[in-house]
Amino acid sequence: MELIKKIDHKLFWPLSLVSTLIFCLFARGPVELYSIIFVYAATLISLFMLMAILYSLVLDQESRITGRLKKGRLLLYMFFHILFLFGSIGIGVHFMGNRIILAVLNYVTQIFVLGIGLRKNLK
């Protein structure tokens, strides 16, 4: 996929890991730590699915030329994106309770980190 090649991986991965480690420092026990790491992994999968959705909507040359979207694939990516997002947050709520805000803030931070990683190469 073209959009993944446009991520500045030397910038994305260190920022992503450092921000996650900062949120892991606020964990009160190993269960919360594992929950934050699990939500982080699901967040990465969800973000890459979101990039696949955006690619097929905006940047896919075949879709631009023919004017047709691959609706089945797009629907599948959207379904799994939402499934991973809500599933991971649901599991995080189960294990962390009201401290799930740490994992949710990490998710929001990861969106900004992805934006920073993409901004450099999309110009």
The whole-chain average pLDDT of the chain stands at: 83
* Number of domains into which the chain is organized: 1
Amino acid identity for residue 38 in this structure: F
Its pTM stands at: 0.80
Q: Residue 1: pLDDT above 60?
A: no
Distances (CA, A) of 42 to 71, 103, 120: 24, 11, 25
Summarize pLDDT for 19-73 with one digit per residue, the tens. Answer: 999 999 998 889 989 988 998 998 888 888 888 887 777 766 676 677 777 778 7
Q: Residue 79: pLDDT above 80?
A: yes
Nearest one of 34, 52, 28 to 88, comparing CA atoms: 34
What is the rounded distance in angstroms from the CA atom of residue 46 to the CA atom of residue 28?
26
Q: Which domain holds residue 40?
A: 2-122
